[in-house]
Structure 1
Amino acid sequence: MAHVARDKKKLLARVRRIAGQVNALEKALQAGTDCADVLVQIAAAKGAMHALMMEVMAGHLAEHVAAEPREARRVAEAAAVVDLLRRYSR
Structure 2
Amino acid sequence: MGHLTANKNDLLARVKRIAGQVAAVERGLERDAGCADILHLVAAVRGAVNGLLDEIVVDHLHEHVARPGLSDAERSTGAEELMTVIRRYVK
Is the pair's TM-score, using the shorter chain for normalization, greater than 0.5?
A: yes
Where does 1:18-57 land on structure 2 (aligned, <5 Å)? 18-57=18-57
Match of 2:89 in 1: 88
Letter in 2 for 1:50: N
TM-score normalised according to structure 1 size: 0.95
Match of 1:77 in 2: 78
Letter in 2 for 1:7: N
Whole-Å Cα distance in 1 between the matches of residues 63 and 81 of structure 2? 14
Whole-Å Cα distance in 1 between the matches of residues 70 and 59 of structure 2? 16
Whole-Å Cα distance in 2 between the matches of residues 23 and 48 of structure 1? 14
Instruction: Give 3-state SS (helix, strand or coil) of 2:65's partner.
Output: helix
Larger RCO (CA under 8 A, 6+ residues apart):
1
Structure 2 residues without counterparts, runs of 5 or longer: none
Structure 1, 44-53 or 63-72: larger mean CA deviation:
63-72
Letter in 2 for 1:55: E
Q: CA deviation at 1:2?
A: 2.8
Whole-Å Cα distance in 1 between the matches of residues 55 and 29 of structure 2? 29
How many percent identity over aligned positions? 43
Structure 1 residues without counterparts, runs of 5 or longer: none
How many residues align? The count is: 90
